[in-house]
Amino acid sequence: MEFDFLEPLSEEFLNYVLGLSAQNLGSKIVLHTNEAIPDLSKIDIAIIGVLENRGDKSGNVDVDLDAIRKELYGMFPGNWNVTIGDLGNILPGNSKEDTFFALKKIASSLIKRKIVPLVIGGSQDLTYALYRGYDDLEQMVNLVSIDSRFDFGKENETISSDSFLTKIIIDEPNNLFNFCNIGYQTYYNSQEEIDLIEKLFFDAYRLGEVSNNISIAEPVFRDADVVSIDLNSVKSSDSGNFTVFNPNGFNGKEICTLSRYAGISDKVSSFGVFNHNNSKQEAVIIAQIFWYFIEGYHYRSNEYPFGSRENYLKYIVPLEEEDLVFYKSDKTDRWWIEIPFISKASNKLKKNTLLPCSYEEYLAACNQEMPERWWKAQRKNII
């Protein structure tokens, strides 16, 4: 069974949890012990540690997640109606591929059960294993990476934390519908890489663009399946990471806001934080990132694609080329735009689909400006 790959939490850590007050978050989490694993039929979110760091080219092999767990479990929960289980850790396999296989199988099993895996890495190439966890679900996958780099590598390069995206794009089965980078810093990415993102009709938002108006990222998360955070996207003064010094990046408030957007998205079904350096300082921000994801999860509204759009307000905006159809939720005031199914073309999406968008994009369409994300989504759909 795939859950045999999981190592129970240590006795030392379990004793720490026993010492917490009944109000602490850790006292409300179901733990994987030597005696029992959490009942998966009763949990909504599963925390998984992955002690695999061989994809980190800095040579930092060891991964210690106790400090992160202690920070998270020592916090107080909100008024949440969410059941959380900690399934323990996946130990490094004989090879990275062994670890990837274990994470893929566990993630796939959890996602099928409608349980969201929260993965604490480890190096960010573990994102590849999370993505492969959707293979058995027979669906197209949207991946969002919060990262200062795109993480492209050479075609035959060994997969690592800064080259995994290439493997996701080229490996079969190719289930990737869209990739979106949030927070890239131009000087870390070649012009060829930036051009490739455009050529593939992927989305990318520069750090300054998101920092100036963080709400532009919300529709992106609403359309995501997998969210992967490279902790190096947070500036060192806020992350506490001075092993790899990052003078620029998201601040603590911004990365937690993005995490909350991911949590509140009805579609996000796996989430991970990677590329930390085992420091107690970083553990604080990582714990807060996870706290805000869980907070967002509590406020999920079960809207499209899971709820009906029958009661949504429908707006038709005529452009020169065609009519754009927008929908506005009567419950949350969030917006979507319809991607039409083209009957005579080879569509990746098998029916009319709604793409999350913003009110600003609706206003732009009213001024005869075609939304760029809609155009890219339509192009990807018929390629």
The three-state secondary structure class of 134 is coil
pLDDT value for 342: 62
User: What gap in Å lies between CA 316 and CA 327, rounded to an integer?
Assistant: 9
- 357 and 335 Cβ atoms separated by less than 8 Å: yes
User: H/E element holding 13?
Assistant: helix 11-18
- 321 and 378 Cβ atoms separated by less than 8 Å: no
pLDDT in tens, 237-292: 999 988 889 999 999 999 999 999 999 999 999 999 999 988 899 999 999 999 99
**Across 5-21, average pLDDT:** 96
Domains of the chain are 2-298 (3.40.800.10), 313-382 (no CATH)
For residue 251, how many other CB atoms are within 10 A of its CB?
15
How many residues are present in the chain? 383
pLDDT in tens, 101-131: 999 999 999 999 999 999 999 999 999 999 9
- For every residue of 258-290, DSSP letters joined together read HHHHHHH-SS--EEEEE---S-HHHHHHHHHHH
- 70 and 29 Cβ atoms separated by less than 8 Å: no
User: What gap in Å lies between CA 59 and CA 22, rounded to an integer?
Assistant: 40
pLDDT value for 194: 96
Burial of 292 (0-12, 13-18, 19+ CB in 10 A): buried
Per-residue pLDDT band for 379 (boundaries 50, 70, 90) equals confident
User: Is 70 exceeded by the pLDDT of residue 344?
Assistant: no
User: What gap in Å lies between CA 239 and CA 242, rounded to an integer?
Assistant: 9
- For every residue of 155-176, DSSP letters joined together read TTSPP-TTTHHHHHHHSSS--E
Structure tokens at 357: 């968008």
Burial of 235 (0-12, 13-18, 19+ CB in 10 A): buried
pLDDT value for 95: 94
User: H/E element holding 128?
Assistant: helix 126-132
User: H/E element holding 101?
Assistant: helix 96-112
Region at 35 (left for phi over 0; alpha for psi -120 to 50; beta for the rest): alpha
pLDDT in tens, 289-315: 999 999 999 999 988 777 777 779 999
pLDDT in tens, 189-218: 999 999 999 999 999 999 999 999 999 999
User: What gap in Å lies between CA 161 and CA 128, rounded to an integer?
Assistant: 10
Per-residue pLDDT band for 8 (boundaries 50, 70, 90) equals very high
Output 269 or 57, whichever has higher pLDDT. Answer: 269
pLDDT value for 347: 54
Mean pLDDT score across all residues of the chain: 93
Amino acid at 262: A
Of the candidates 194, 168, 281, 164, the residue with the CA atom closest to the CA atom of residue 234:
281
Q: Write the DSSP symbol of residue 43.
A: -
pTM: 0.95
**Across 312-327, average pLDDT:** 93
